[in-house]
Amino acid sequence: MSTTLHWITLAAYLLGSLISLGFLVRQRQGLYRMGLALLWIGFGLHTLALAAAWVEGGVLPATSLRQSLDVFSWALMGAVLVVNLRLEVKILGALAGPICVLLLLAASVLPVVPSVKTAAFKSAWIIVHVISIMAGYGLLALTCLGGVLYLTQDKALRAKTMGPVFRRLPSLGRLDSLNQASLLAGFLLMTIGLISGAVYAQMALGSYWRWDPKEVWALITWLLYAAMLHTRLVQGWRGRRGAWFSVAAFAVLVITFLGAGLLMPGYHSFSSLTGLGGPRP
Amino acid sequence: MKLQLIGLSHKTAPLEVRECLAPPPESVPGELHRITALPGVREAVMVSTCNRVEVLAATEDNAGEAELTGWLCSGRGQAPELIAEHLYRYQGADAVRHLFRVASSLDSMVVGEPQILGQIKDAYRTATDAGTTRTVLNRLLHKTFQVAKRVRSETNIGGAAVSISFAAVELAKKIFDSLEGLSALVVGAGEMAELAVEHLMAQGVSKVQVANRTLERAVDLARGWGGHAISLDELGAVLGEVDIVIASTGSPSAMITAKMAKAAVKARRGRPLFFIDIAVPRDVESAVGELDGCYLYDIDDLTSVVEANRAGRAVEAGQAERIVAEEVVKFMSWLAGLDAVPTISALAAKAEEIRTAELARTLRDLSELSPDQAAALDRLTQALVKKLVHDPIMFIKGASHNKSPDTLRQQLALVRRIFNLEENGGE
């Protein structure tokens, strides 16, 4: 069931992305609406696919790299679609759509690892931990995208040609609002994720903090985003500096997400998740 | 008499070159006197806007061209040969056509923009005040105003009213998204700046402040927009409070420095600041455009928007060009007629001179004539002379309307020789 839904989702995302790219080139409003509708349908199917995988596997489907990429692409698409409801940034579909397609494709080719069915993954704390961290990642990825768009539009404005890029990209003001909104929400969710993780670690492993590589990187990432929020709100680092910051911070986030999960040994790494015990009685 | 036009515009010269040629308004009369003092130059008008600097001169035949170029290029703070390579020179009908096209806004950066006619009117007024226009340029400039009016009323060239202000609004929208509730600062007063402000206000800009060299004018303008006036000394402080700055002063040096802009951005906590500099020479240091959070567009940068609009106006422009061509022919024939005037008046004067001399002699000999008879004799001689010179005069007039300038010159010379008229006899 979940596999079928996975492929239908991929098809909807692919079609939605292609139509959004068509909108990017031709600038027809009809294409924009059609692309957006398809991405929404894809997102609905994606949600269903993940729910089905959860039911089938019995645990939260985020125990392998394959599943994590799947959830990450869901989070990114969700962030884009929800933020787009308030701040219409029409170009995002053409940008985030293909990224989600690639993430899903990557997830599809990765080996299937049997779900870890330990009691740990059934705890409410860890469900909150994983979901809020992943949603936070999605939003912060959007901040990074917004930053890239900001830098591109800034450059287009300074080139003074009023060319195709200038016309297609949204205004700096709107991109700045996008960055601020996604940064605030992403940071909030990441904070909730870290706290719930720590609480769970206390319950399951007996200590809030164990200097696991992923924990350390997550802390670094969190501090970076905290600094970014501070400089933006207090010192007025909007503009180019803020945009560069969001790109750099996201690079660190990727290290935390993939690097610490794959390359560094620790109980957060995907290979050792099986060894994780349930909460102590 | 010959017409010469020499100058440069946004089409031939970059802003840097135009900047150093544009004279401050108060020095224009002096420049005009200097031009008319050049050998061979009789009349002159100087048009100087932010997009062009042009000198129109009526000169004696084949005189003045080198002198005019020399005058325009030297002592401008740039190498004369550098300026010379950006110049265009028109003579005779080409000069008239160019002037008509400029005044009709066919040569403008924004084709159809209405300000150029007013600027040429100002230039003409300055020249008449300085006393550097006479028969030819008076007639030409009045004709120019008529042509511009005709183009405006008979074509739809000014219809779309796209201009600098349109570009400014587009740009502002790409920076601020919505202009609702933003505030603008106008530095220096000018027609173009006023237009830009009105466009911005129509898009939602709600607060306007005006800074001007003369506070009176600033207060006047500010009242019209429901804003308030500030003095130029307050510029630095006010920059931190506004979102859009429109600069258009006639100041020879930059009013807004990079240092001021940097402080303003800091005060604004990173909210961007948009500078529209429509002054020539520029009012905002170009380094401002590189600062984080500052976007600077000068008059040349605004051209790009205009390009997109050009296509739709091609048809209207074609119609306008026809009107211009028609009017050029009319004016040139008048000008050619002007060349014949001295010959005609010399011929008439000579005939009258002979008549009065001969009549006086005859009356002396015939002393017994009654006053009535003397009057009849006077009438007789007048009629004789009039009928005799009528055909030659008609011949000259016909030639002046229908023949090329060279043929006309030859025929005038022939008439002068036949009737033994002195060279340069009267004007």
The pLDDT value recorded for residue A196 is: 93
Per-10-residue mean pLDDT for chain B, 427 residues long?
Answer: 88 82 85 89 89 89 80 80 87 92 84 81 93 92 92 70 70 91 88 79 88 85 86 88 90 90 88 88 90 88 64 71 89 81 87 91 85 89 91 82 74 86 55
d(CA B143, CA B346): 28
| Of A55-69, A264-278, B353-367, highest mean pLDDT | B353-367
Instruction: Please indicate whether, in this complex, the C-beta atoms of A172 and B174 are within 8 angstroms of each other.
Output: yes
The pLDDT value recorded for residue A278 is: 38
Instruction: Please indicate whether, in this complex, the C-beta atoms of B174 and A157 are within 8 angstroms of each other.
Output: yes
Instruction: Confirm whether A64 is domain-assigned.
Output: no
Residue B89 region, left (φ>0) first, then alpha (ψ -120 to 50), else beta?
beta
Chain A residue at shortest CA distance from B304: A161
Instruction: Please indicate whether, in this complex, the C-beta atoms of A240 and B292 are within 8 angstroms of each other.
Output: yes
Checking if the pLDDT of A189 tops 90, the result is yes
Structural domain count of chain A: 1
**pLDDT: is A22 or B77 the higher one?**
A22
Three-state SS at B342: helix
Contacts of residue B304 in chain A, CB cutoff 8 Å?
160-162
Pick the residue of B173, B174, B297 with the most A CBs within 10 A to test the interface with A by mutation.
B174
Q: What is the pLDDT of residues A201-235, one digit of tens each?
A: 888 888 888 888 888 899 999 999 999 999 998 88
* pTM check: above 0.90: no
Instruction: Please indicate whether, in this complex, the C-beta atoms of A171 and B176 are within 8 angstroms of each other.
Output: yes
Contacts of residue A172 in chain B, CB cutoff 8 Å?
174-177, 272
Contacts of residue A157 in chain B, CB cutoff 8 Å?
171, 174-175, 295
Q: How far is A166 from chain B (nearest CA, A)?
A: 8
Which entry of B20, B50, B73, B294 is annotated as an active-site residue? B50
Pick the residue of A149, A172, A179, A228 with the most B CBs within 10 A to test the interface with B by mutation.
A172
Beta bridge partners of B46: B55
Q: Smallest Cα–Cα separation from B54: which of B93, B79, B86?
A: B86
The pLDDT value recorded for residue B302 is: 78
Chain B residue at shortest CA distance from A239: B293
Q: What is the residue type of B328?
A: V
Chain A residue at shortest CA distance from B268: A236
Instruction: Confirm whether A150 is domain-assigned.
Output: yes
Chain A residue at shortest CA distance from B274: A157
Across chain A, mean pLDDT equals 87
Active site residue B20: no
* B422 secondary structure, DSSP code: P
What DSSP string runs through chain A? -HHHHHHHHHHHHHHHHHHHHHHHHH--HHHHHHHHHHHHHHHHHHHHHHHHHHHHHSS-S-SSHHHHHHHHHHHHHHHHHHHHHHS--TTHHHHHHHHHHHHHHHHHHSPP-PPP--GGGGSHHHHHHHHHHHHHHHHHHHHHHHHHHHHHHHHHHHHT---HHHHHSPPHHHHHHHHHHHHHHHHHHHHHHHHHHHHHHHHHHS-S----HHHHHHHHHHHHHHHHHHHHHTS---HHHHHHHHHHHHHHHHIIIIIHHHTS-STTSGGGGGGPPPPP-
Interface predicted TM-score of the whole assembly (ipTM), two decimals = 0.84
Residue with tokens 């022939």: B414
Nearest to B176 among A173, A241, A242 (CB): A173
Strands laid side by side in the B273-277 sheet: B228-230, B207-211, B183-187, B244-247, B273-277, B294-298
The pLDDT value recorded for residue A120 is: 65
Instruction: Please indicate whether, in this complex, the C-beta atoms of B270 and A173 are within 8 angstroms of each other.
Output: no
Checking if the pLDDT of A268 tops 80, the result is no
d(CA B51, CA B49): 5
* The CATH number of domain B164-301 is 3.40.50.720: yes
Extents of the domains making up chain B: 2-160+313-332, 164-301, 339-418
Nearest to A172 among B167, B175, B268 (CB): B175
Contacts of residue A233 in chain B, CB cutoff 8 Å?
none
Q: How far is A237 from chain B (nearest CA, A)?
A: 6
Instruction: Please indicate whether, in this complex, the C-beta atoms of A236 and B269 are within 8 angstroms of each other.
Output: yes
The pLDDT value recorded for residue A279 is: 38
Range(s) of the domain holding residue A223: 118-275
Instruction: Please indicate whether, in this complex, the C-beta atoms of A162 and B170 are within 8 angstroms of each other.
Output: yes
Hey, how many other C-beta atoms are within 10 angstroms of the C-beta on B181? 11
The pLDDT value recorded for residue B304 is: 61
**pLDDT: is B303 or A73 the higher one?**
A73
Q: What is the pLDDT of residues B241-263, one digit of tens each?
A: 999 999 988 888 888 999 999 99
Q: CB-based contacts of B245: which residues, under 8 Å, 6+ apart?
A: B184, B185, B187, B239, B256, B273, B274, B275, B276, B284
Contacts of residue A174 in chain B, CB cutoff 8 Å?
177
Instruction: Please indicate whether, in this complex, the C-beta atoms of B272 and A172 are within 8 angstroms of each other.
Output: yes
Q: CB-based contacts of A244: which residues, under 8 Å, 6+ apart?
A: A147, A151
**pLDDT: is A38 or B411 the higher one?**
A38
CB contacts < 8 A (A, B): 61
Q: What is the pLDDT of residues A123-141, one digit of tens each?
A: 888 889 989 999 999 999 9
Instruction: Please indicate whether, in this complex, the C-beta atoms of A160 and B292 are within 8 angstroms of each other.
Output: no
Instruction: Please indicate whether, in this complex, the C-beta atoms of B177 and A170 are within 8 angstroms of each other.
Output: yes
Nearest to B177 among A157, A173, A239 (CB): A173
Instruction: Please indicate whether, in this complex, the C-beta atoms of B270 and A242 are within 8 angstroms of each other.
Output: yes
The pLDDT value recorded for residue B333 is: 80
Instruction: Please indicate whether, in this complex, the C-beta atoms of B177 and A241 are within 8 angstroms of each other.
Output: no
Is residue A221 classed exposed, middle or buried when 0-12, 13-18 and 19+ CB atoms within 10 A define those classes? buried
d(CA A6, CA A10): 6
The pLDDT value recorded for residue A280 is: 35
Q: How far is A147 from chain B (nearest CA, A)?
A: 14
Q: Which CATH superfamily is domain B2-160+313-332 in?
A: Glutamyl-tRNA reductase, N-terminal domain (3.30.460.30)
Instruction: Please indicate whether, in this complex, the C-beta atoms of A239 and B266 are within 8 angstroms of each other.
Output: no
Rounded average pLDDT over A250-275? 74
Contacts of residue B173 in chain A, CB cutoff 8 Å?
171
Q: How far is B179 from chain A (nearest CA, A)?
A: 10
The pLDDT value recorded for residue A101 is: 95
Instruction: Please indicate whether, in this complex, the C-beta atoms of A238 and B271 are within 8 angstroms of each other.
Output: yes
Contact B137, B150 (CB under 8 A): no
The pLDDT value recorded for residue B160 is: 44
The pLDDT value recorded for residue B403 is: 67
Chain B residue at shortest CA distance from A165: B174
Instruction: Confirm whether A280 is domain-assigned.
Output: no
Instruction: Please indicate whether, in this complex, the C-beta atoms of A160 and B304 are within 8 angstroms of each other.
Output: yes
From chain B, which residues contact A within 8 Å (Cβ)? 167, 170-171, 173-178, 266, 268-272, 289-290, 292-293, 295, 297, 301, 304-305, 308
Contacts of residue B171 in chain A, CB cutoff 8 Å?
157, 162
Instruction: Confirm whether A28 is domain-assigned.
Output: no
Chain A residue at shortest CA distance from B296: A158
Q: How far is A158 from chain B (nearest CA, A)?
A: 7
Contacts of residue A162 in chain B, CB cutoff 8 Å?
167, 170-171, 304-305, 308
Contacts of residue B295 in chain A, CB cutoff 8 Å?
157-158
Phi, psi of B262 (to 5 degrees): -65, -45
Q: What is the pLDDT of residues A76-109, one digit of tens each?
A: 999 999 999 988 899 999 999 999 999 999 988 8
Chain A residue at shortest CA distance from B273: A239
Nearest to A171 among B175, B271, B301 (CB): B175
